[in-house]
Chain A
Amino acid sequence: EPEVTQTPSHQVTQMGQEVILRCVPISNHLYFYWYRQILGQKVEFLVSFYNNEISEKSEIFDDQFSVERPDGSNFTLKIRSTKLEDSAMYFCASGKTVDQPQHFGDGTRLSIL
């Protein structure tokens, strides 16, 4: 069964550095999402992306965050200048249509030192 693939599985970065988290959505999916889960807290929506633009974003997704679909297969989340509180598990998800459920990757654990 097709899967959403996320790399790396664990990323360690110094505070203030830029980080890019990568995702390969399921190939025929058109809707893309990022969520995060801070340790011990709920899974939180960050952003959704369709037709090469952001369709919805949460208050968490401020100017430090950006998303991009640089080619036909990858979907990336960039954090420009990381903070300690950005440490979390980041999940990418994709959906075939707006009516279909979202399929999640295994996540990238981001640790900010």
Chain B
Amino acid sequence: AQSVTQLGSHVSVSEGALVLLRCNYSSSVPPYLFWYVQYPNQGLQLLLKYTTGATLVKGINGFEAEFKKSETSFHLTKPSAHMSDAAEYFCAVSLNNAGNMLTFGGGTRLMVKP
């Protein structure tokens, strides 16, 4: 069975500051890892994914994440926060294929202060 833990249900940063959202997973087999973003009253939008290959993956809106197997982590970063980044971010894992069931973390609400 797999699980996902997101440290920090709320993260607040100033506009222009580094964004770091933490995600740790547990999995019995090599995982497929995802970050989704949810803006108010909208669905889940895929930010980026790790399947195989390069461990640093780049996504939309300037976000990137690094798969660290030794740390079982997949933290999401963005060098400079923008007001429009304020949203809820979900880390998720699936096993064997990207199309298998997703197990989500609890989500992190990112607030960006002017």
Q: Which residues of A contact B (CB under 8 A)?
A: 4, 6, 31, 33, 35, 41-45, 48, 56, 58, 91, 93, 95, 97-107
Contacts and interface: CB of A to CB of B under 8 A. Distances in A.
A99 B102 contact: no
A78 B107 CA distance: 27
Find the residue from B42, B43, B46, B106 having the highest chain A CB count within 10 A. B43
A104 B36 contact: yes
Nearest to A6: B43
Contact of B99 (A4, A31, A43, A91): A31
A12 B106 CA distance: 26
A53 B110 CA distance: 38
A99 B42 contact: no
Nearest to A41: B106
A43 B37 CA distance: 13
B103 A101 contact: no
B42 A106 contact: yes
Contacts of A99: 51, 97-99
Nearest to A9: B41
Nearest to B99: A98
A106 B99 CA distance: 19
A35 B100 CA distance: 12
Interface residues of B, number: 23
Nearest to B46: A101
B64 to A, nearest CB: 16
B43 A91 contact: yes
B83 interface: no
B100 A43 contact: no
Given A6-B43, A42-B106, A101-B49, 17 more contacts: A43-B102, A43-B107, A44-B104, A45-B101, A45-B102, A56-B101, A91-B43, A93-B44, A95-B98, A95-B99, A99-B51, A99-B98, A99-B99, A102-B46, A102-B102, A103-B46, A106-B43
A103 B46 CA distance: 7
Contacts of A106: 41-43
A48 B97 contact: no
23 contacts: A31-B99, A41-B106, A43-B44, A43-B90, A43-B92, A43-B104, A44-B104, A45-B101, A48-B99, A48-B100, A58-B101, A93-B44, A95-B99, A98-B98, A98-B100, A99-B98, A100-B99, A101-B34, A102-B46, A102-B98, A102-B102, A104-B43, A106-B41
